[in-house]
Amino acid sequence: MTLTTLTTLIAEPWTDYGLVDSGGGRKLERYGRFRFIRPEPQAMWAPARTDWRADGEFVPGSDAEGGGRWQLSSDVPEEGWPLAWEEVRFTAQCTPFRHLAFFPDMASHWAWMRAKLEGCVDEGAEAMNLFGYTGVGSLALAAKGAKVTHVDASKKSVEQARKNAALSGMADRPIRWLVDDAAKFAAREVRRGRRYDGIMLDPPKFGRGPKKELWRLEEDLPGLIGDCAKLLDADSRFLVLTVYAVRMSALAIGELVAQATRHRGGEVECGEMAVREEARGLLLPTAIFARWSR
């Protein structure tokens, strides 16, 4: 097992998404035909321009829970609007959680996972997406022929993922859409003797399952990674872990994944995820990651 040096994964702009400018604790992004301003504490530098024009801005609340609200200056559809990444179609929407129903910095992972599955999809490659949210990652894999198990505790998120599958013309693809607690489901899969060619997970800092199961990242992540490693075998291709909004080191989660997968060979890389700004090409950090591959 080899743990590589720290790596930065860079999500480049694409037709329907771009980080236009950033600075002063905010960022200006384009989502299709709309532009939005959101808070971004890591944008500590000055913006390229100060005359930002946007269709809406998320104004954070003053409470410790990180609430807030959207202030819209144009006719942004409340039900959302369609976007695309490669052949995947999905709906963007201004959510109460300040994001827009998908995470554009994950694009570098989507492309990497698809490449890792090349050569085994014809043999019925199976992938699992834990904390799968609105399913863009699941559809990115399904579009290349993988059988996907998509798990999320939110019934609303799974319903939106199904709608995104229909929007992409993939409603009939072999995808299991499951409303379940991710940690409990992974443990059950281990007991069933299941295996996967690839696993991706994007756990929150804190959450609750459909039966009010409590999830705390620092306490529960090691056990979940251990179970995910047990679902890999000699033919498996990858395990991808992303972590947002926590005071945690990429080196720490890199070592966690390295120890869990040490009996599988291969290598583990870890580091930061970032989005490239269009105005100047600078990199805005967004999350940390660790991933194993063979």
What type of residue sits at position 13?
P
Which pLDDT belongs to residue 107? Answer: 97
Distance in angstroms (rounded) separating the CA atoms of residues 83 and 285: 23
Q: Per-residue pLDDT for 294 more than 90?
A: no
Per-residue confidence band for 4, with pLDDT thresholds at 50, 70 and 90: low
Which SS3 state, helix, strand or coil, does residue 41 take? coil
**Across the chain, what does the average pLDDT equal?**
94
pLDDT tens digits, one per residue of 198-248: 999 999 998 888 888 888 889 999 999 999 999 999 999 999 999 996 778
pLDDT tens digits, one per residue of 10-57: 999 999 999 999 999 999 999 999 999 999 999 999 999 989 999 999
pLDDT tens digits, one per residue of 59-100: 998 655 568 999 999 999 999 999 999 999 999 999 999 999
Distance in angstroms (rounded) separating the CA atoms of residues 217 and 203: 7
DSSP one-letter code for 277: B
Question: Checking DSSP bridges between strand 206-208 and strand 283-293, what pairing results, if any?
Answer: unpaired
> Given CA atoms 200, 220, 207, 179 in this order, what sign does their dihedral have?
positive
* CB distance 18 to 31 below 8 Å: no
**What are 273's strand-pairing partners?**
9, 287
Which pLDDT belongs to residue 224? Answer: 98
Per-residue confidence band for 136, with pLDDT thresholds at 50, 70 and 90: very high
Burial group, residue 277, by CB count within 10 angstroms (0-12, 13-18, 19+): buried
List, in order of start, the domains of the chain with CATH numbers.
2-14+97-293 (3.40.50.150)
* CB distance 21 to 48 below 8 Å: yes
Please give the model's pTM, rounded to 2 decimal places: 0.93
Q: Per-residue pLDDT for 123 more than 80?
A: no
